[in-house]
Amino acid sequence: MIERYSIPEMEAIWSDENRFSRWLEIELLAVEARCGLGAVPRADLDLLRSKARFDPARIAVIENTVKHDVIAFLMSVSESLGPESRHIHYGMTSSDILDTALATQLRDAGALLTGALDAWGGSLAGLVRRTRGIPCMGRTHGMHAEPTTFALKFAGHHAEYRRCRERLESALADVCTGKLSGAVGTYAHLDPSVEEFVCARLGLRPETVATQVVPRDRHAAFLWALASIGGALERFATEIRHLQRTEVSEAEEPFGKGQRGSSAMPHKRNPITCERLCGMARLLRSYLLVGLEDTCLWHERDISHSSAERFVLPDACGVALYSLRKACEVADGLCICEQGAMGHLASAGDGFYSQTVLLAMVDSGADRNAAYASVQAAAARASEAGRSFVEEVCGDPSITAVLPSGSIRAMCSLERHLRHEGDILKRAGLE
């Protein structure tokens, strides 16, 4: 996590000091469990609890020689102890503390992410409330389609937030898994009750069937949950970026007092935060690819995953948290330019009532293909001549033979077109 985008609370979770502290706690909990089994004298446990220490600087020096971070850590801890150090790491392998500590880090990072994700959901809900009933042009293929409302636009993003929330919750339940089953996961030198005790105290669940590691499909699922959050934020940001374009001007991300948009052009107010969110989403997707690659290890274990996930797991958590907080700022401060939206509705004319007329003809018994051809021809004539579509339709005998002009004019109203906004918001839990 580079300093420009790092958040202190997340950075603290992934610090060396915090990681070593978790390693030591796991080691001491394992000794406590073995003490409960009568394998370790209580006096030795008390000594370990009171005296066991580590020195990060000393660990770095030792690792430079032994080329193994866990061994360096254990050697540093042993230097703070006497004969009681023999109980440390008994029957365990490096991955027992590496993977179990990692699970606690992901759990704590997940708590920060869940809070930020819920804040994002709250920001979207607020955006829905303050834009309810404000019409705008809906677009498909980038072209004017039919009217919608800003509230319905943002309600769709809120629904996606809920799906992201479910994925993150599920992934966290899966990845918060520890193991203390020793080399190749057979509990050859450590009773399974030790693993159960340690995991229970840490709020984790034991791995169902470990090899020498917790299988990495769990971590890949977690990275997918974060990538999906990035995708949701990117979709929102892309919408705002389009709506902020000069020729659209229907919405604008917050622009702070004293902020400047361009080093060369003082008039510019660029959607830089939304553009940044799109870039962050690319990172989150790339981290998912690494997570998927990490699932295939040789036999019971190799460490091809280790170097990669030391980058991607902390960074993915940091990028996702940063992105969520920035997205909240955009949603909370988003300016809706109603004048621009109404201008586009006006400039679109009334051609978007074409489906209304088509379906009314079908309901009256007309052949759909023939009705479509008549309505399409009328729409083309109106567009080419710059006339009203409704008036063109009302003057077309092939259409008025099926639908009276009065009924056509009555059904072609914006209010009628958007009458189900409340029903949709109610179904979305956003009344």
Cα pseudo-dihedral 39, 43, 45, 50, rounded to 10: -170
User: Among 15, 21, 170, 262, which one carries the catalytic annotation?
Assistant: 262
Question: How far is the C-alpha of 42 from the C-alpha of 40, rounded, in Å?
Answer: 6
Question: How far is the C-alpha of 412 from the C-alpha of 417, rounded, in Å?
Answer: 8
Phi, psi of 204 (to 5 degrees): -115, 170
Question: How far is the C-alpha of 255 from the C-alpha of 128, rounded, in Å?
Answer: 21
Question: How far is the C-alpha of 392 from the C-alpha of 112, rounded, in Å?
Answer: 58
Residue 269's SS3 state is: coil
Please provide the DSSP assignment of 118-165 as one string.
Answer: HHHHHHHHHHHHHHTT-EEEEEETTEEEEEEEHHHHHHHHHHHHHHHH
Give the number of other Cβ atoms within 10 Å of residue 307's Cβ.
8
The reply to whether 141 belongs to the active site is yes
Strand partners, 149: 135
Give the number of other Cβ atoms within 10 Å of residue 62's Cβ.
20
Strand partners, 336: 251
User: Among 141, 267, 299, 307, which one carries the catalytic annotation?
Assistant: 141
Q: Is 187 exposed, middle or buried (0-12, 13-18, 19+ CB in 10 A)?
A: middle
Strand partners, 140: 143
User: What token pair was written down for 260?
Assistant: 């400047």
**Helix (H) or strand (E) run with residue 370 in it:** helix 368-385
User: How many residues belong to the chain?
Assistant: 431
Q: Could you tell me which residues come within 8 angstroms of residue 324 by beta carbon, excluding any fewer than 6 positions away?
A: 113, 116, 117, 119, 120, 229, 233
Question: How far is the C-alpha of 359 from the C-alpha of 372, rounded, in Å?
Answer: 9
Quick check: 214 and 179 in contact, CB under 8 A? yes
The reply to whether 262 belongs to the active site is yes
Question: How far is the C-alpha of 329 from the C-alpha of 318, rounded, in Å?
Answer: 17
- Distance from the first to the final alpha carbon of the chain: 39
Residues taking part in catalysis: 141, 262
